[in-house]
Structures are given as C-alpha cells and as structure tokens.
Amino acid sequence: MLLSPRIRAALLAVASASLLAASLPAPAAVPLGIGDPLFPHLGNPGYDVTSYDIALTYRGDHRKPLDAITKIDARATDRLDRINLDFARGTVHSVDVNGAPAGHESVGEDLVLTPKTPIGPGGAMRVTVRHTSDPAAGSDGGWIRTADGLAMANQADAAHRVFPCNDHPADKAHFTFRITAPKHLTAVANGLATTRHHGERTTTWTYRTRHPMATELAQVSIGRSAVVRRTGPGGLPLRDVVPAKDRASLERWLEKTPEQVAWMERKVGRYPFETYGMLLADAKTGFALETQTLSLFEKSLFTRPEYPEWYVESIMIHELAHQWFGDSVSPRRWSDLWLNEGHASWYEALYAEERDGPSLQARMRHAYQKSDEWRARGGPPAAPKQPEPGHKISLFRAVVYDGSALVLYALRQEIGQSAFDRLQRRWVRTYADQSASTADFVRMAGRVAGRDLGDFFQEWLYAPTTPPMPGHPDWKTSAVSTASSASPASSGV
Ligand SMILES: [Zn+2]
C-alpha cells in the first residue's frame, strides 16, 4: 500500500513531467503507468490506494452487465489535477471525488478523472465510480462465466476489466465486497463474511479482507454453490466453494486441505491469512489461480480419471504455496514473477515427490536439460520477454515455472539446505503483506548465507544461458532448436 522510497522517486519523475504539462492549456488526458516494463500502462502514479469497497448487483444472467459502485480510498503522493484509474470494459455512469462530481473520460485502458479541485500532495481522496461490469465483453481475463454463474481470474492485468482500480501488485489495499444476487444463489469473495442481508428476492453478502491484497488476486464467486467449512491447523477457518450438486463427490479432495496447510506451515511458517479454501468452478479456464484466501480451480481437475492422485494434490499445493509466495509477498514488478511461480513450483515438486510423483532431483535434472531452450523462448527467469500482443497470459512461460524452481534448486545446492530453509522462512515473514523485488530476495539470500551472492544470481536470473549446476557437473542442457522458439506458452497454474 505504501510504496517504497525508490518507487516514490520514480513516480515523482513521472509526476513532475505531468506538472509541466499541466501549466499548458487543457492538455489531453493520456493513459499512464507506474513504469512496469512488461505492462507500461498498468497502475498509475501519484497516489496510494488504501481500500476498495466494491458493490456488485447480479441479476442472475451471466451474459448481462452487473451494476456496480466502486469506492476507492486513496492518499495522493503528489499534486493531482487529474486522477488516472485503470478501467476498461464497462460503462461509467458518474464519478465523484471527495463528494463532488468529477469529469471522466476513457483513454486507452485508463479512466481519467478531473476533480473539481486538484488534490494536494498527502491529501486524502475518496473516488466513487458508478459503472457496469461486463462479463460478456471479452475473453482476456476478468470475469469467468461458469455453468451456474461467475468467478474471477484477473492475473496479471485484468482486474481493471472488472472494476476501476490501480491495477498493479505494487499498490496493495484492503477490500470490501458487497454482492447482491438472487436468493437461490450463493456469493463468496476474498476474506471473511461480515454481514448478510435478505431482501424479498435477493441477498446481499458482504466480505472483507483482513490483509492488504493486490487487485489481480480479487475473487468473487456467484453460483449455485455449497460452502463447505472445516477447521485447519491452529483453528484456521477453511471454506471451500463447490457446485452444490457435486459436494459429496468432491469431498475426498476437499478434506486434504488441513493436512496440506500443516505441511506448508512445517516448511515456511504460519499460514499468512485469515482463511483459506478452494473454489472449484464449473468452467473451462485452462489454469488454476491463487486468488487470495480462495484459490480458483477448474472442477474437472478433480473429476478426470486420467490424472494421478499425486498430480492433483501437487497442483493444490502449488496454489496453496502461492498464498505465501505471490499473495502475502507480492511482486514489485511483473518481472519479479519468477519469485511467485518458482516457489509455487518448488513446493509443488517437493510435495509430488512425497506422494509417489517424480523425485525433485529427476524433475530438476529434466528442467536443467530444457533450461536453455526455455530461456531462449521466454527470456531469463528475472527478465522475461514481453507477453505477446493481445495474449498477455503468454508471460506465464515454462521459464517462470520449473525454469525458476531450478534457480531455487541451484541456490539450495550453493548455500546448503539449512541456510535455504532459513531464507524461505525469513522471506515470507519479513515481506508479509508487502510487495518485494528480486533485488530484495538477492540481498536477503546473501545475508542469510553470510556472503555476497550477486554474481551467482546474476548468472542464474539474468544470463541468456544456464550456468553449471553446483554439485552436478554432469548435468547438461539440450541444444536450443531454433524451430521451437515461436512455440506457444505453457498453460499456467
Ligand atoms: Zn502459479
């Protein structure tokens, strides 16, 4: 929520440029960003969001737009004559800033507001946007239409296709969701339920997060759902959301979560949030997603007989591990994505090994063989290539999954098991509820190991080819075939 001094300095540079522009008569509104090279127009300079309050009214037809009111509480970090929000794919009816009507226009994927009076540096602002949120308008993320309603998948850049926001994980905030839906449906969102109001034909469900959250991790599920409750380690409330008709047949999977949370806690420490659970959506998504406190899965992952049990369990662990790596500790820039996916893949592989899956070493040896090819295709782990235009999910390539778990394996080989374990625990404890960068990780690893690891990480994270694996001089990478360099992205988890 509160950005680091380094980011503030960068924002100041952008803001002073816009101040110069503001002294000229009526400059045109332009889409802005916070300087993420992979997503130049994502996020906005000049303010920190502290909280979102999002009210959604669903009328029972997931092809029709929802009515919505999004209230954003934020603090200006600079003088703001204009306020840029990220928002595309909805009709904006009206905008208030601090209670007064404000001008608004859509430019690119930004909604640019002109408040009656400029906001001074440090000033509080409450922005209220009355708008629609359209689940039918596109297929590049945001709302997902399920057999019985809606769910959400906003990673990496699609939250602003659902609600107006500062759509970058560097600006985390608290969230309240108020979802009004026909009586026969169940609504669930991130965090814990606070109140429920019954109208004549509708119910309004309110959920609130206790921890700050990135916009990309927002989740709202509306459908004919059963909410299955149980208690996890240390009294952690668990709640899974499943199609009501499939509740009994899915129980054998749902009941695994308490043991999985305990397993992760033995590895890295206390679970970071107020609740956890799985949302099993009756939809074809092609991925699972670590939406905060309520991970999204395709129901079919749990019903297709061809998947071995260890495989399904390891995908469950992947999303659970993200609650620490990616959710509680968010990326500062999208090029830090390897910290999310590398760690989630690491625990996925460790868990698979314990459950009759392939051994970690065999999996890492295979990753080593492929690593040069993955780097050629997707860039090195911490400097990934741009996603393909119009296909931003292609950022999620093999190099950020097993190609980055391989970096963690090399690190463990280099500094030893005990230092590696201490680093994992210290990382999620130190940066809980914050955004952290690759440089933060490199610095902390060096401190824990008691020596500078700058050269080691430079090679492993940024070199176009894979360095020798410590302790395995016999491991070799396959030659890069030029024919495969244009092959499609792997389907992510
Ligand atoms: Zn993942």
For the beta carbon of residue 299, count every other beta carbon within 10 angstroms: 19
Distance 315 CA to ligand 1 centre (A): 9
Greater confidence (319 vs 17) lies with 319
Is residue 74 within 8 Å of residue 47, measured between CB atoms? Answer: yes
pLDDT band at 191 (very low <50, low <70, confident <90, very high): very high
Is residue 116 within 8 Å of residue 90, measured between CB atoms? Answer: no
Question: What pLDDT, in 10s, does the model give residues 4-61?
Answer: 344 444 444 444 444 444 445 557 999 999 999 999 999 999 999 999 999 999 999 9
| Bridge partners, residue 67, by sequence | 57, 132
With tokens 């019985």, the residue in question is: 148
Distance 98 CA to ligand 1 centre (A): 38
**265 pLDDT more than 50:** yes
Distance 394 CA to ligand 1 centre (A): 13
Distance 319 CA to ligand 1 centre (A): 6
Closest CA to 374 of 395, 396, 399: 399
Is residue 443 within 8 Å of residue 426, measured between CB atoms? Answer: no
For the beta carbon of residue 173, count every other beta carbon within 10 angstroms: 20
| Bridge partners, residue 178, by sequence | 55, 206
**What is the arithmetic mean of pLDDT over 108-113?**
97
Distance 492 CA to ligand 1 centre (A): 6
Distance 341 CA to ligand 1 centre (A): 5
Is residue 119 within 8 Å of residue 79, measured between CB atoms? Answer: yes
Distance 327 CA to ligand 1 centre (A): 11
pTM for this model (two decimals): 0.92
Greater confidence (164 vs 3) lies with 164
Structure tokens at 212: 């700050």
Alpha-carbon distance of 74 to 439, in angstroms, equals: 28
Alpha-carbon distance of 18 to 100, in angstroms, equals: 23
Question: What pLDDT, in 10s, does the model give residues 233-255?
Answer: 999 999 999 999 999 999 999 99
Distance 322 CA to ligand 1 centre (A): 7
Question: What pLDDT, in 10s, does the model give residues 345-389?
Answer: 999 999 999 999 999 999 999 999 999 999 999 999 999 999 888
**187 pLDDT more than 60:** yes
- Burial pattern 70-92, b for ≥16 Cβ within 10 A else e, equals bebebbbbbbbebbbbbbbbbeb
Question: What pLDDT, in 10s, does the model give residues 284-312?
Answer: 999 999 999 999 999 999 999 999 999 99
Distance 38 CA to ligand 1 centre (A): 18
Instruction: Tell me the CA distances in angstroms from 270 to 62, 192, 239, 432, one per residue in order.
Output: 38, 18, 18, 11
Distance 125 CA to ligand 1 centre (A): 35
Distance 28 CA to ligand 1 centre (A): 39
Structure tokens at 265: 């806690």
Domains of the chain by start residue, with CATH:
30-136+157-220 (2.60.40.1730), 329-462 (1.10.390.10)
Query: Residues whose CB is under 5 A from ligand 1 (ion)?
Result: 341, 344, 493
Distance 334 CA to ligand 1 centre (A): 13
Distance 241 CA to ligand 1 centre (A): 20
pLDDT band at 488 (very low <50, low <70, confident <90, very high): very low
Residue 4 has a pLDDT of: 38
Distance 80 CA to ligand 1 centre (A): 36
Judged by phi (left if over 0) then psi (alpha if -120 to 50, else beta), residue 339 lies in alpha
With tokens 């990309």, the residue in question is: 216
Residue 393 has a pLDDT of: 81
Residue 254 has a pLDDT of: 98
Distance 139 CA to ligand 1 centre (A): 20
Distance 401 CA to ligand 1 centre (A): 7
Distance 348 CA to ligand 1 centre (A): 10
Distance 320 CA to ligand 1 centre (A): 9
Distance 278 CA to ligand 1 centre (A): 14
For the chain, what percent of residues have pLDDT higher than 70? 92
pLDDT band at 1 (very low <50, low <70, confident <90, very high): very low
Residue 394 has a pLDDT of: 87
Distance 344 CA to ligand 1 centre (A): 6
Closest CA to 397 of 445, 355, 338: 338
Mean pLDDT (the chain, rounded): 93
Distance 345 CA to ligand 1 centre (A): 7
Largest CA distance in the chain: 71
**407 pLDDT more than 70:** yes
Residue 482 has a pLDDT of: 60
Distance 349 CA to ligand 1 centre (A): 12
Beta strand spans in 386-456 (E): 434-436
The SS3 call for residue 192 is strand
Greater confidence (487 vs 453) lies with 453
Structure tokens at 41: 């127009």
